[in-house]
């Protein structure tokens, strides 16, 4: 059993060590060499695509980087999976796109808006995911190749 002074020393020493580890990891994670945000590649098209993503409430059904709805596919690496022409065609389709029985709204986007969305998806796909670039949607479990 520790005496009162030993317990205090143990507590203060453990707190100091934990604090120093926390500060060290914070400094390490903030180092420019560890930047994974892909922020240098943000263009006006990417900003417009993000705006379209938000105003059309795409996140209500889809997810990006694991955030959003799970009704429809995860779109973080959609350009790698489907290709830009396919994504653009879906966004410009005048009729609802309905794969696997789930119907997507027919956005009938202009060429400019569809291109902005594709650029946004390309930018999102360029973010370093620390190796977690597998399909993460529960709707696509059967497509995961181990």
DSSP label at residue 95: S
141: helix, coil or strand? helix
Q: How far apart are CA 107 and CA 91, in angstroms?
A: 6
pLDDT, tens digit (0-9, with 9 covering 90-100), for 57-78: 999 999 998 889 888 888 988 9
The hierarchical CATH code for the domain 38-126 is 1.10.760.10
The residue written with tokens 């020493």 in the block is: 13
Q: How far apart are CA 4 and CA 66, in angstroms?
A: 48
pLDDT band, very low/low/confident/very high, at 138 (cuts 50, 70, 90): low
Give the model's pLDDT for residue 31.
Answer: 83
Whether residue 135 has pLDDT greater than 70 = no
Q: What does each C-alpha distance from 10 to 6, 62, 81, 116, 124 come to in angstroms?
A: 6, 49, 54, 57, 46
Give the model's pLDDT for residue 145.
Answer: 56
Nearest partner of 45 among 126, 144, 123, 99, judged by Cα: 123
64: helix, coil or strand? strand
Nearest partner of 56 among 110, 123, 130, 122, judged by Cα: 110
Q: What is the dihedral of CA 33, 38, 40, 41, to 10 degrees?
A: 150
Contact 73, 137 (CB under 8 A): yes
Whether residue 15 has pLDDT greater than 60 = yes
The residue written with tokens 């620390």 in the block is: 130
Q: How far apart are CA 49 and CA 124, in angstroms?
A: 11
pLDDT, tens digit (0-9, with 9 covering 90-100), for 16-41: 999 999 999 999 888 877 777 778 88
Enter the tokens of residue 13. 């020493």
């Amino acid at each position: 059993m520790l005496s009162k002074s030993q317990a205090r020393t143990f507590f203060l020493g453990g707190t100091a060590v934990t604090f120093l580890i926390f500060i060290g990891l914070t400094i390490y994670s903030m180092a420019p060499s560890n930047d994974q945000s892909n922020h240098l590649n943000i263009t006006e098209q990417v900003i417009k695509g993000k705006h379209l993503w938000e105003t059309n409430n795409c996140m209500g059904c889809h997810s990006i980087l694991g955030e959003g709805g799970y009704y429809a596919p995860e779109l973080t690496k959609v350009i790698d999976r489907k290709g830009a022409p396919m994504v653009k065609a879906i966004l410009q389709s005048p009729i609802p796109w309905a794969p696997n029985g789930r119907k997507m709204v027919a956005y009938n986007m202009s060429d400019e808006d569809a291109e902005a969305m594709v650029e946004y998806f390309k930018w999102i796909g360029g973010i370093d995911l620390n190796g977690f670039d597998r399909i993460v949607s529960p709707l696509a479990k059967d497509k995961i190749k181990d």
